[in-house]
Amino acid sequence: MSRISELVGRIQGVRDYTVSLVDAVPESEWFRQPAEGVTHVAWQVGHLAMAQYRLALDRVRGVQPGDEDLISEQVLSIYGKDSVPDPDPAANATPAEIRAAFDAVHARVIEEIGGMDDSILPEPATQPHPVFGTKGGALEWSAQHEMLHAGQIGLLRRLFGEDWLR
């Protein structure tokens, strides 16, 4: 098995787990923050869409024409690095817009990265990052970063303590 196939499999496996968590939360609960200063599901999903785009597409093959159809500038800015979750739905993209970006970016990652050769992995990432320096590192960090946020979504679900979680 190629290293690219292994990384794509890891990215897909983590996404399958994240989707199982996200799908269990009704959209009516996406902006709910169980306590002040705590995030919400909409921010987590939007942040994952933004991060997967930046890590697995932008840092591996650079920004391409048509990327704006995958993820809007609004989603990139609202849920970007150092953004602060706002529970006001009017200050956010809609759950449908967030989910569309989350799904579209992921589908493109699987399609494009799955078709690449292992030879790209040691190449320098198109933009610097404090955790990695190579395209392979960007792909590895994409899966690890998502698992971290999947844990936060799982914690939110637990803090909600609602019957729909069972």
For residue 163, what pLDDT band results from cuts at 50, 70 and 90?
low
CA–CA separation, 18 vs 62, rounded Å? 25
Domain extent at residue 17: 3-165
The residue with tokens 């909600």 is: 160
What's residue 38's pLDDT? 87
Number of domains in the chain: 1
Kindly report, residue by residue over 89-143, the tens digit of the pLDDT: 999 999 999 999 999 999 999 999 999 999 999 999 999 999 999 999 999 999 9
CB-based burial of residue 73 (10 Å sphere; 0-12 exposed, 13-18 middle, 19+ buried)? Answer: exposed
The amino acid present at 45, given as its one-letter code, is: V
Q: What is the CATH number of the domain that holds 60?
A: 1.20.120.450
The backbone torsions φ and ψ at residue 107, rounded to the nearest 5 degrees and listed phi first, read -60, -40
Q: Is 0.75 topped by the overall pTM? A: yes
- Read off the pLDDT of residues 22-48 as tens digits, 9 standing for 90 and up: 999 999 999 999 887 789 999 999 999
User: DSSP H helical segments within the chain, as ranges?
Assistant: 3-22, 41-52, 59-61, 73-78, 95-114, 135-160
